[in-house]
Structure 1
Amino acid sequence: MSLRVLGMMSGTSLDAIDVVLVDLRRDEREETVLEAELLYVGEEPWPEETRAALLAVLPPAPADVAAWNRLHAAVGEGFAAAAGRVLARHGGADLLAVHGQTLHHDVGPGGVVASTLQIGDPARLVAATGVPVLHDLRSADVAAGGQGAPLAPILDQLLLGDRGHPTAVLNIGGITNVTLVGAGDVIAGDLGPGNALLDAAVHAATGASCDVDAELARSGAVDVAALEVLLGDPFYARPLPRSTGREHFDTAYLRRMLGEDALAALALPDLLATLVELTAVSIARGLAPLGAAEVIVSGGGIRNPLLRERLAARLAPVPLRDADALGIPADGKEALLMALLGWLSAHGLPGTLERGDGTAHTGAHRPVVLGSLTPPHALRELPVDPRPVRRLVLRRA
């Protein structure tokens, strides 16, 4: 029995809502293989007013419960409008799997995640589309003692776990995360800032959302002293699995780490060149102990040509390859992940991977089924299906 799922994802960069409409079914000949027919991969814009309001409440900005309450409704409306447009153009869906927008990911001093909050009123999506919604996809893992992140490893394992050598699957969004597959138990976690600090610095100085094609960063020079200070952040010494977010790498991060005077003395191009190098070095150092034979990359960070060049240089001789070259939609990979989690949860299967000791790849005590369903009586005709899935095969419509 097939399930048509619309996966929807908005990350820490808030650049757009990524969407993937996919038809998922078990292979009739090999029950542990899940087939995914990609019907549409794209992105939908955020309403500018909603995007601006979200940026205004992210740490370290103060916000009260009224602001978060209003944003919960506005984000739900934004996702609902995006879903409505996609479904009108490309056909209906049986389920919407929606990440929501992360407002806060509470990581304590020892790296333990106390709570995580993704907003976006699912009832508004149901009202607008008539399709049930799976949402709140991180909380169950946190409740089981996990980091709630990253969630990508189950997709990475199903797509790339059989390549025959250790493979690092890298996603460079606002925050960079990695999955190592093909080397026994999956290893995963957040590595540090991807685009978050770069975009924040550009926005603060110019009002633009990013440094297009790294034009400013290319005209600058790396400040070695500042780079070493930033690399001294204790976050990088925490073992995997670990997670982070804009609560840590926020708009005030550079002032805290470098000091007002040193930050003010950096010309914008030099600052951006330094931050590009920070991302490249922190990724390379994070990957070095994993022994990967190749690195496969996706996410918005690969659109930054200077970052790609510096990362390739730091990783050499380990090759850096685009996910697109392997038939994986690099720009829609996280939305595809949401759709996969929707299918798994709808069939009663965990959305995290079990390690050899019975724990989950996130550090949780055990793998758990992820998400909450609105309305609660939806999808009752789908039986719980305990058969594991070992591989995911992508096909284009």
Structure 2
Amino acid sequence: MSERYIGLMSGTSLDGVDGVLALCDAAHTRVLQHAYRPFPAELAAELLALNSPGDNELHRAALAANALSRLYAQVVDELLRSADLPASAISAIGAHGQTVRHRPGAFDGTGYTLQLNNPALLAELSGITVVADFRSRDLAAGGQGAPLVPAFHQALFGRRGQTVSVLNIGGISNLSVLQDDHVLGFDCGPGNALLDAWCRQHTGQPYDDQGRWSASGQVQAALLERLLQEPFFSLPPPKSTGRDLFNPGWMADRMAGFGELAAADVQATLVELTALSCATELQRHGADSSRLIVCGGGALNLHLMRRLQALLPQLSVVDSEAEGLPPLQVEAAAFAWLARKTLQRETGSLQSVTGALGARVLGAIYPA
């Protein structure tokens, strides 16, 4: 029987919260409503700052989690009002939280992943059961805790007898290769994180609208080669990453010695870095794919989409709306789907993706 779930996602792009109201059952997920709330500037700045060591982190992180949960509650309220539904009509909310650190396997062999969130506060504000903390159980089982969306990609986009690849380009890019019952998934490297940071620094805009600015620049081959020397790109799956690695400091270190480069040329080079790192991984691990479905904010960067198609001429490169779900709704829908999995005590992770000892039931439940 189908039930209504809400999925909430705020990704490493740090632009805001996407929420969906979805009808879910064992075989299907159908989005009924979508809502979006941008981050207030102060909250976005604090979440970005908490990606790096700083003063009084525990206090600041707790207050940022409260503020984020209040924003989540506003998105939930908007979804309910749009659908004219009471809170009691929703089985659960899947709330991912905001990743500020991701260090699987580091330091002590287990490492940690940290998503700021206050699911207890969200349950209190919404009157709806909340499922949160989706990643830590996989880490405890020896996995990367990421990416978690490939299992959902398989349920949504998988095609019998075909290899289909799905590329999610948020702040970080991740690839799912779907081959009947076998799924491979991993992070490729930076998505929009470096692009957005460079754009904010040099234009004052939060992102490069449709990739127009990057399209005006010229790729700097020597800089691109330096960027591609990052060891992460040559690691085999399973692998995951985040702003812990790909951040403006990483960029500054690798640009040292290049002198003054035109800002638009650097932006064009960063687009090429994202496109080339993703295309290379697809050719390594999904060369027999018939189709590449792109979702996340990167799907709206038309210059990036053109570069992907140019680097993968053998494939049809399309955004996920061509498959029935707009790019900005896919990840939120995944966490609605994962919330249902948790309540049903069904596993939500894939050993072939995260490298854990086995699939695990993910998430912690905060009853209404």
Match of 1:363 in 2: 355
Q: Does 1:39 align with 2:32?
A: yes
Q: Does 1:195 align with 2:192?
A: yes
Shift of 1:184: 5.4
> What is the alpha-carbon distance in structure 2 between the residues aligned to residue 245 and residue 325 of structure 1?
28
Tell me which of 52, 64, 79 is aligned to 2:57: 64
> What is the alpha-carbon distance in structure 1 between the residues aligned to residue 137 and residue 106 of structure 2?
21
Match of 1:19 in 2: 19
TM-score (norm 1): 0.86
Shift of 1:47: 2.9
> What is the alpha-carbon distance in structure 1 between the residues aligned to residue 54 and residue 242 of structure 2?
14
Match of 2:262 in 1: 267
> What is the alpha-carbon distance in structure 1 between the residues aligned to residue 296 and residue 362 of structure 2?
23
Shift of 1:56: 2.7
CA contact (8 A) 2:183 2:352 kept: no
> What is the alpha-carbon distance in structure 1 between the residues aligned to residue 291 and residue 130 of structure 2?
36
CA contact (8 A) 2:18 2:37 kept: yes
Relative to structure 1, is the Cα distance of residues 86 and 210 closer, same or farther in structure 2, using a 3 angstrom cutoff?
same
CA contact (8 A) 2:29 2:156 kept: no
CA contact (8 A) 2:10 2:16 kept: yes
Residue deviations 1:112-140, cap 9 Å, x none?
Answer: 76110111111221121111100001111
CA contact (8 A) 1:57 1:63 kept: no
Structure 1 range deviating more: 112-121 or 313-322: 112-121
Match of 2:233 in 1: 236
State percent identity of aligned pairs: 39
Residue deviations 1:19-61, cap 9 Å, x none?
Answer: 11012234xxxxxxx2334221232222333222212322376
Match of 1:116 in 2: 113
> What is the alpha-carbon distance in structure 2 between the residues aligned to residue 214 and residue 35 of structure 1?
34
CA contact (8 A) 1:79 1:120 kept: no
> Which residue identity is paired with 1:371?
G
Tell me which of 180, 204, 211 is aligned to 1:207: 204
Match of 1:281 in 2: 276
- Structure 2, unmatched stretches of 5+, are none
Residue deviations 1:134-168, cap 9 Å, x none?
Answer: 00011111111111111111111112222421111
Shift of 1:310: 0.9
CA contact (8 A) 1:60 1:250 kept: no
Q: Secondary structure at the match of 1:361?
A: helix
Tell me which of 249, 254, 261 is aligned to 1:252: 249
TM-score (norm 2): 0.93
> Which residue identity is paired with 1:277?
E
Shift of 1:72: 1.7
Q: Secondary structure at the match of 1:186?
A: strand
Q: Secondary structure at the match of 2:358?
A: coil
Q: Secondary structure at the match of 2:12?
A: coil
Relative to structure 1, is the Cα distance of residues 188 and 124 closer, same or farther in structure 2, using a 3 angstrom cutoff?
same
CA contact (8 A) 1:60 1:251 kept: no
Relative to structure 1, is the Cα distance of residues 108 and 363 closer, same or farther in structure 2, using a 3 angstrom cutoff?
closer
> Which residue identity is paired with 2:365?
L
> Which residue identity is paired with 2:332?
A
Shift of 1:109: 6.9
Relative to structure 1, is the Cα distance of residues 63 and 257 closer, same or farther in structure 2, using a 3 angstrom cutoff?
farther
TM alignment of 1:1-397, pairs within 5 A: 1-26=1-26, 34-59=27-52, 64-90=57-83, 91=85, 92=87, 93-107=90-104, 114-182=111-179, 185-259=182-256, 261-262=257-258, 264-290=259-285, 291=287, 292-353=289-350, 359-375=351-367
> Which residue identity is paired with 2:279?
A
Aligned-residue RMSD, C-alpha: 2.0
Q: Secondary structure at the match of 2:354?
A: coil
CA contact (8 A) 1:41 1:329 kept: no
Relative to structure 1, is the Cα distance of residues 242 and 322 closer, same or farther in structure 2, using a 3 angstrom cutoff?
same
Q: Secondary structure at the match of 1:273?
A: helix
Relative to structure 1, is the Cα distance of residues 254 and 363 closer, same or farther in structure 2, using a 3 angstrom cutoff?
same
Shift of 1:101: 0.6
Relative to structure 1, is the Cα distance of residues 60 and 249 closer, same or farther in structure 2, using a 3 angstrom cutoff?
farther
> What is the alpha-carbon distance in structure 2 between the residues aligned to residue 360 and residue 286 of structure 1?
16
> What is the alpha-carbon distance in structure 2 between the residues aligned to residue 144 and residue 252 of structure 1?
32
Aligned length: 362
CA contact (8 A) 2:151 2:183 kept: no
CA contact (8 A) 1:113 1:147 kept: no
> What is the alpha-carbon distance in structure 1 between the residues aligned to residue 106 and residue 139 of structure 2?
16
- Structure 1, unmatched stretches of 5+, are 27-33, 354-358, 379-397
Residue deviations 1:300-350, cap 9 Å, x none?
Answer: 011111111111100112221221111123220001100000111100000
CA contact (8 A) 1:42 1:332 kept: no
